[in-house]
Chain A
Amino acid sequence: MDISDQLNVTQEEVEPFLELTPALVQKRRSQGRIIFDRFIRNRAAIVGAIFLILLFLFCFLGPTVTRHNNPDAINVTSVSATFAGPSAQFPFGTDYVGRDEFARAMAGGQVSLLVGLSSMLVAIIFGIGIGAFAGYYGGVVDNILMRFTDVVLAVPLYLLLFVLSASFTDHTPKSIIILIAIFGWTYAARLVRGEFLSLKEREFVLAARTIGARNFRLMFRHILPNAAGPIIVNATLLVGSNIILESVMSYFGFGIQPPSSSWGNLVSDGQGYFGVDPKLVFIPGLLIFFTVLSFNLVGDGLRDALDPYMTER
């Protein structure tokens, strides 16, 4: 811990000590720096973060850099040349009609990551809006919004998503993103409401109100930044669970359908050929697994780093 915090004195007062015992006094760190340092020290979270960075480069830059940018082209001239193993030309081999599996994994990854991230973004925005109003205004507003949340929470999520996806969507990534986001905001809303309920009683809110801040300004400029930690953690974990949701829907044929491909869709495509060529299941399957794992590791690392009660070792 920073010695100036322990002594409850300002940086200037610490300066004289610095000359006496330079080894004892660390440089004063900003709050962001403290959080970053804590996060860096969590090895699992760093591994997750590095994997995610590599994964994004792989999926979004990979196709142009490696020129495996043609996932739908059939690259073989005879049926006997399908299910090719890894080679210099096709690092992941080819699939059951001879398409480049490397290019398909990258193209599918773009869709899966896009669905995970953008449905998270929409869901978090919904959640913040609903949770903020419920928590800040309380009373009738809170009651109506939270009963509404309870109704959405009471419906078995998978069943509802399957029904809606089978009937309402056109099975493009955009429609699936919207669908997942519509039902993904409930947890964030409860979280934000809880934070708002406790934060709105604090002195800094009263102080801001005293100098004339309006409700909206209080909610989104003063209270919300103080609730940012738990929201960021929830958002990170939500990306992982949205990727799973999308892959489950696609696996059962209610999600993204050709011509778009996602990892879930590739798994369901490849499972019929498992006896012939197991890589068609394992490659997209393991990509889903490691991606979700990394998002969870980063999310938990952020939680530990943002938690002010966590003592530094």
Chain B
Amino acid sequence: MGRYIIRRLLQAIPLLFLVSIFMFALIHALPGGPEAVIFNPHLDAAGRAALRARFGLDDPVPIQYFKWLGRALSGDFGFSFVTNEPVTDILGQRFPVTLQLFSSALILALFIAITLGVLSAVRQRTIVDYALTTLSYFGIAMPIFLFGLFAQDIFGVWLHWLPTSGTQSFGYTFDPFGAFLDHLSHLVLPMLVLAISFIAGWSRYMRSSMIEVIKQDYIRTARAKGVAPIPVLLRHALRNAVIPLITVVAIDFGAVAGGAAITEGVFAWPGMGKLFIDSLEARDYPVLLAMLLLGAVFVIGFNLVADILYAVMDPRIRYS
């Protein structure tokens, strides 16, 4: 077990290294790449040279890569072309905002997906099951940006129930509790939209793994010795049925950067995803590069977490 984890960790390192080379090369190969962006036509030769030196563009690309990698490993991703702030600071401001949206959506989605999955597994081939199956098909087929757009239009524009973008209303609220409520009301729509996009897939996983588990002998044994129906489901069946779901959740959480880009873009939620879209429009390459790398770290890291969790929670699986 311990050796398995160490082996997986050691495999992840060269992978990350390759990904970072791939992305660095990509960003530098872009037409109108870093060079073109910072070249202001009003700049004289000396100013140009100073800028090149400041962003380290005089070295050959491989040297630039290793310098960048060395600094990146110590947490320094250079400076934004647009605001001149250190990229690390910008990401530091944006990350908690994304985490807020993501973790709240995740918790909500987990709770609802498990409930619905168990419900349709227990009531298999009934009207409840068919209704939930249909709904999850709808959820999977609905692109997240359309879902967000419809939600904004219906709850924001038509009904005026909830704010549709940003994290707070115009003006300043002196009452801290009022400000908190205002913030929460801004969180509701993006959180729901993000959660529903997860629920559709997860409840399917939950349903199929629950159906597998409740067919097994130990569940019949538990029923036979007189355990009440609900405790059988929650204490005996759910514990095993939730294992495959957890790995899926970990993998989906790894896609935080990609998933956030769409939801945050639609709802102007000022997190990492919004930062990415804004940086792309401004061709802010140091920020883009840092975010692509961070995104890859998340994907690889959470894939690893998924594998390890799977191994820890299911002792039947053997790794050689």
Of the listed stretches B19-27, B57-65, B213-221, chain A binds B19-27
Report yes or no: B257 in contact with A156, Cβ–Cβ below 8 A.
yes
Residues of B with C-beta under 8 A to A244: 143
Asked if B140 is an interface residue, CB under 8 A from chain A, the answer is yes
Interchain CB contact (< 8 A) of B299 among A156, A162, A247: A156
* Interfacial residues of chain B within 119-154, with CB under 8 A of chain A in the complex: 137-138, 140-146, 149-150, 153
Q: Given the interface contacts A157-B258, A159-B276, does A151 sit within 8 Å of B143 by beta carbon? A: no
Q: From B146, which residue of chain A is reached at the shortest CB distance?
A: A285
Asked if B43 is an interface residue, CB under 8 A from chain A, the answer is no
Bound CA–CA A38/B195 (angstroms): 35
* Interfacial residues of chain B within 31-80, with CB under 8 A of chain A in the complex: 31-33
Report yes or no: A156 in contact with B258, Cβ–Cβ below 8 A.
yes
Asked if A306 is an interface residue, CB under 8 A from chain B, the answer is no
Question: Nearest Cβ in chain A — how far from B193, in angstroms?
Answer: 14
Question: Nearest Cβ in chain B — how far from A246, in angstroms?
Answer: 10
- Give the interface residue-count category, chain A: 35 or more
Question: Nearest Cβ in chain B — how far from A142, in angstroms?
Answer: 15
Report yes or no: A240 in contact with B141, Cβ–Cβ below 8 A.
yes
- Chain B contact residues, majority secondary structure: helix
Bound CA–CA A151/B12 (angstroms): 10
Report yes or no: B141 in contact with A248, Cβ–Cβ below 8 A.
no
Asked if B118 is an interface residue, CB under 8 A from chain A, the answer is no
Asked if A168 is an interface residue, CB under 8 A from chain B, the answer is yes
Asked if A252 is an interface residue, CB under 8 A from chain B, the answer is yes
User: Interface code B263-307, partner A: CB below 8 Å = 1, 0 otherwise?
Assistant: 001000000000011001100000010011001101110000000
Asked if B184 is an interface residue, CB under 8 A from chain A, the answer is no
Interchain CB contact (< 8 A) of B277 among A168, A252, A271, A289: A252
Report yes or no: B257 in contact with A293, Cβ–Cβ below 8 A.
no
Interchain CB contact (< 8 A) of A156 among B27, B138, B255: B255
Q: From A247, which residue of chain B is reached at the shortest CB distance?
A: B143
Asked if B181 is an interface residue, CB under 8 A from chain A, the answer is no
- The residue in A154, A162, A244 that gathers the most chain B C-beta atoms within 10 A of its C-beta is A154
Residues of A with C-beta under 8 A to B234: none
Bound CA–CA A15/B281 (angstroms): 73
Bound CA–CA A195/B261 (angstroms): 34
Report yes or no: B15 in contact with A155, Cβ–Cβ below 8 A.
no
Asked if B30 is an interface residue, CB under 8 A from chain A, the answer is yes
User: Interface code A220-264, partner B: CB below 8 Å = 1, 0 otherwise?
Assistant: 000000000000000000001000100110011010000000000
Bound CA–CA A278/B257 (angstroms): 31
Asked if A147 is an interface residue, CB under 8 A from chain B, the answer is yes
Report yes or no: B22 in contact with A155, Cβ–Cβ below 8 A.
yes
Q: From B18, which residue of chain A is reached at the shortest CB distance?
A: A151
Q: Given the interface contacts A244-B143, A288-B146, A296-B141, does A158 sit within 8 Å of B296 by beta carbon? A: no
Bound CA–CA A275/B157 (angstroms): 7
Asked if B262 is an interface residue, CB under 8 A from chain A, the answer is yes
Asked if A307 is an interface residue, CB under 8 A from chain B, the answer is no
Q: From B300, which residue of chain A is reached at the shortest CB distance?
A: A154
Report yes or no: A159 in contact with B153, Cβ–Cβ below 8 A.
no
Asked if A281 is an interface residue, CB under 8 A from chain B, the answer is yes
Q: From A291, which residue of chain B is reached at the shortest CB distance?
A: B141
Q: From A286, which residue of chain B is reached at the shortest CB distance?
A: B146
Q: Given the interface contacts A155-B19, A156-B292, A167-B32, does A267 sit within 8 Å of B146 by beta carbon? A: yes
User: Interface code A121-147, partner B: CB below 8 Å = 1, 0 otherwise?
Assistant: 000000000000000000000000001
Report yes or no: B295 in contact with A248, Cβ–Cβ below 8 A.
no
* Interfacial residues of chain A within 159-173, with CB under 8 A of chain B in the complex: 159-160, 162-164, 166-168
Question: Nearest Cβ in chain A — how far from B205, in angstroms?
Answer: 15
Q: Given the interface contacts A163-B26, A240-B141, A252-B265, does A271 sit within 8 Å of B292 by beta carbon? A: no
Q: Given the interface contacts A156-B299, A168-B30, does A150 sit within 8 Å of B141 by beta carbon? A: no
Report yes or no: A156 in contact with B295, Cβ–Cβ below 8 A.
yes
Residues of B with C-beta under 8 A to A248: 143-145, 262
Q: A154-B299, A167-B33, A289-B143 are in contact. List 16 more A-B contacts (CB 8 A).
A: A153-B299, A154-B15, A154-B16, A155-B292, A156-B255, A156-B261, A156-B296, A156-B298, A159-B292, A166-B281, A252-B145, A281-B150, A292-B141, A293-B137, A293-B138, A296-B137
> Could you list 29 A-B pairs, sorted by A, with CB under 8 Å?
A147-B15, A151-B18, A154-B15, A154-B19, A154-B299, A155-B19, A155-B22, A155-B292, A155-B296, A156-B257, A158-B258, A159-B261, A159-B292, A162-B277, A163-B30, A164-B26, A167-B33, A168-B30, A248-B262, A252-B145, A252-B262, A274-B153, A274-B157, A275-B157, A282-B150, A289-B138, A290-B141, A292-B141, A296-B140
